[in-house]
Structure 1
Amino acid sequence: MALLGGHFDLIPDPRRDHGKRHALSDIFGLALCAITAGADSFLAIEAFGKARLDWLRRWLPLTHGVPSHDTVRRVFALVDRRHFERSFAAWAQEAFRKTDGRVVAVDGKRLRRARDAGEPMLTVVSAWATEAGAALGQVTTDDGEGEVSAVPRLLALLDLSGCIVTTDAAGCQTDIAKQIVDGGGDYVFGLKGNQAGLREQAERWMMEATLSGDVDAFETSERGHGRVETRRYWSAAVPDEALRRLLWAGLTSVGMVESTRTVGGKTSTEQRYFATSLAVDAETLARSVRGHWGVENGLHWSLDVSFGEDASRTRTDHAAANLAVARRVALTLLRAETTAEGGAPTKRMRCAWDADYLATVLRLE
Structure 2
Amino acid sequence: MSTLQLPLKGNQGDLYNDVVQLFDHACQTQFQGIEHDSYQTVEKGHGRIEHRTYWTMGQTDYLLGAERWAQLKSIGCVESCRRQPGHPGTLQRRYYLLSIESDAQRFADAVRSHWGIENQLHWILDVGFREDKLRACQGCSAQNLSVIRHLAANLLQQESTAKCGIKAKRLKAGWDDNYSTTDIC
Fold shared per TM-score above 0.5: yes
Partner AA of 1:197 in structure 2: D
Matching residue within 54, 57, 79 for 1:233: 54
Say if 2:81 is the partner of 1:264.
no
Which residue is 2:169 aligned to? 347
- Residue aligned with 1:210, SS: coil
1:199 CA displacement: 2.6
Q: Structure 1 270/319 Cα, relative in aligned 2: closer, same or farther at 3 Å? A: closer
Match of 1:248 in 2: 69
User: Normalising by the residue count of structure 1, what TM-score does the alignment of the two structures yield?
Assistant: 0.40
Question: Is 1:214 aligned to 2:31, yes or no?
Answer: no
- Matching residue of 1:335: 157
Where does 1:289-300 land on structure 2 (aligned, <5 Å)?
Answer: 289-294=111-116, 296-300=118-122
Give the aligned partner of residue 282 of structure 1: 104
Query: Structure 2 stretches of 5 or more lacking a match?
Result: none
Deviation, structure 1 residue 323: 4.3
Q: Distance in 1 between matches of 2:122 and 2:30?
A: 37
- RMSD, matched Cα: 3.6
Give the Å deviation of 1:211. 1.9
Counterpart in 2 of 1:198? 15
**Cα distance in 2 for residues equivalent to 1:244 and 1:267:** 34
- Please give the alpha-carbon distance, in whole angstroms, between the structure 1 residues aligned to 2:110 and 2:13: 22
Matches within 5 A, 1:4-43: none
* Counterpart in the other structure of 1:41: none
Partner of 2:6: 189
Gaps spanning 5+ residues in structure 1: where? 1-99, 102-163, 165-185
Deviation at 1:361, TM superposition (A): 5.5
Distance in 1 (alpha carbons) for counterparts of 2:48 and 2:182:
39
1:226 Cα deviation after fit:
1.3
Q: How far apart, in 1, do the equivalents of 2:65 and 2:14 lie?
A: 16
- Taking only the aligned residue pairs, the percentage that are identical comes to 38
Contact 2:75-2:95 within 8 A present in 1 as well: yes
Measured in 2, the distance between the counterparts of 1:196 and 1:341 equals 48
Q: Does the residue aligned with 1:279 lie in a helix, a strand or coil?
A: coil
State how 1:158-197 maps to structure 2 within 5 Å. 164=3, 186=4, 188-197=5-14
Deviations 1:301-350 (A, max 9, x none): 5334432446254857x7765544332121012223467243x2233234
Secondary structure at 2:68's aligned position in 1? coil
Partners of 2:10 and 2:17 within 8 A in 1: no
The aligned counterpart of 1:325 is: 147
CA gap 1:262/1:275 in 2 versus in 1, 3 angstroms: same
Q: CA contact under 8 A between 1:230 and 1:261: conserved in structure 2?
A: yes
SS in 2 for 1:272: strand
Aligned residues of 2:53 and 2:79 also touching (Cα < 8 A)? yes
